[in-house]
Amino acid sequence: MPRIRTARGRLRAQSATSRWNPRWMQRASPLSRGAVCSLLLALAQTWQGLLASLPKPITFAEPVSGQARHVTMTRDALLLFIIAKHFPERLRDIPQDVLTTLAQRVNDGYYHSLSAGTTLLALDAYATATQAAARNLALAEVLRDKRVHALELAAVTFPKTPFSEQAAALRFTNNSELNAYYTIEQSGFDRKPPTTALRKGFEVLREYTDASGKVLTGIQMGQQVDVHLKFRSIGRDYVSSMALVDLLPGGFELVVPSQEAQTPFLEASAENDNENYREDYTGWNCQVCVGATKAQMQYADMREDRVVFYVDATKDMSEIVYRIKATNVGNYVVPPAYGEAMYERSVVGRSAAGKLEVSRP
């Protein structure tokens, strides 16, 4: 008589011919336990069959470019996760460059929410499957005066530690047989704003005008200024899901019209069953925008120090206009406007930084 061990004890699968009891068969609980036993036995046989059918060596996707890179990154991460989680004995059959490729994709910014999440799952499962291996990872910072200062790494899967501004270099030591990877994170603003524009599949331009559209050469305190953001895709006809960020210069505030934003929603019609919803959709009505918006916009986020527009870019120049107001006198640095495709981070554009002078009226 077969037995299956579970967390609650032992479940015994008995044939109906050995103990035929009509009352027993009419009870839901014994029938459920018997069904679970049958499913577990079948599942164990299926896992063994899948394990035997895995190819040697296990094939991962070839490097590709464009939007397809996210599909291959997600696929490779899920494949590594399944192998490390359920078939750890087959980790020796994966190609040597799999983890290097995953780390390179993360380092180059070729990821979005789904591929980033699956990559974290894969790396965590891989680290758990190989935790019995000997590890000896150390990190130290080499200061500008050539002194070496050791940095403490927590005993976790992804240790994180800060290093000082006096560090001229970081020194990694890895005495284990497993490859180790690192990433450096920085936050804040550039001390020296960029003076040249950046165009990688996307272009964004910005200019300041008065209400009549005339480019301003001087601004007085209290004056309202129209900000014109012009953007387009480069090298392709269409780029979807772009985040366009424009930081406000110091000494300025956002002018928000008093009327409330109106967001149109489509309703399915009985005639076409909403098949042409993309043609019917006119876009989100921007509350902060001035005049008719000449862009495919999904949403506009108004914050204290910036505005964020979520748009689609085409090869034709699109334009968004919003209004700011000078509240202080002085000379101010104008941060560059910045745009990035949310699901294809290699597509990015940035305008050049500038300067504004606000004088007394």
Query: What are the tens digits of pLDDT across the range 143-192?
Result: 999 999 999 988 776 788 999 989 999 999 888 777 777 888 888 877 88
Cα-based torsion angle of the residue sequence 173, 174, 180, 184 in order, rounded to the nearest 10 degrees? -10
Q: Are 293 and 318 in contact (CB under 8 A)?
A: no
Name the DSSP letter for residue 289. Answer: B
**Residue 279, H or E segment:** helix 277-280
Taking the C-alpha atoms of residue 344 and residue 65, their distance in angstroms, rounded to an integer, is: 10
| pLDDT at 316 (0 to 100) | 95
At 14-28, the pLDDT tens digits run: 444 444 455 544 555
Q: Are 327 and 254 in contact (CB under 8 A)?
A: no
pLDDT by residue for the chain (361 residues), tens only, comes to 344 444 444 444 444 444 445 554 455 566 677 677 777 777 766 666 666 665 555 566 555 555 555 578 888 888 899 888 888 888 877 887 888 888 888 877 777 788 889 988 998 898 888 875 556 788 999 999 999 999 998 877 678 899 998 999 999 988 877 777 788 888 887 788 888 999 999 999 999 999 888 888 789 999 999 999 999 999 999 999 999 999 999 899 999 876 554 444 334 344 444 444 444 445 567 888 888 788 999 899 988 899 999 999 999 999 999 999 999 999 998 999 999 998 887 899 999 998 889 999 8
Amino acid at 268: A
**What is the pTM assigned to this prediction?**
0.62
| pLDDT at 98 (0 to 100) | 84
- Residue 286 C-alpha from the chain's centroid: 25
| pLDDT at 70 (0 to 100) | 59
Taking the C-alpha atoms of residue 359 and residue 263, their distance in angstroms, rounded to an integer, is: 39
Name the DSSP letter for residue 88. Answer: G
Superfamily of structural domain 198-359: Alpha-macroglobulin, receptor-binding domain (2.60.40.690)
Q: Are 34 and 13 in contact (CB under 8 A)?
A: yes
Taking the C-alpha atoms of residue 149 and residue 74, their distance in angstroms, rounded to an integer, is: 38
Taking the C-alpha atoms of residue 308 and residue 310, their distance in angstroms, rounded to an integer, is: 7
Judged by DSSP in three states, 75 sits in helix
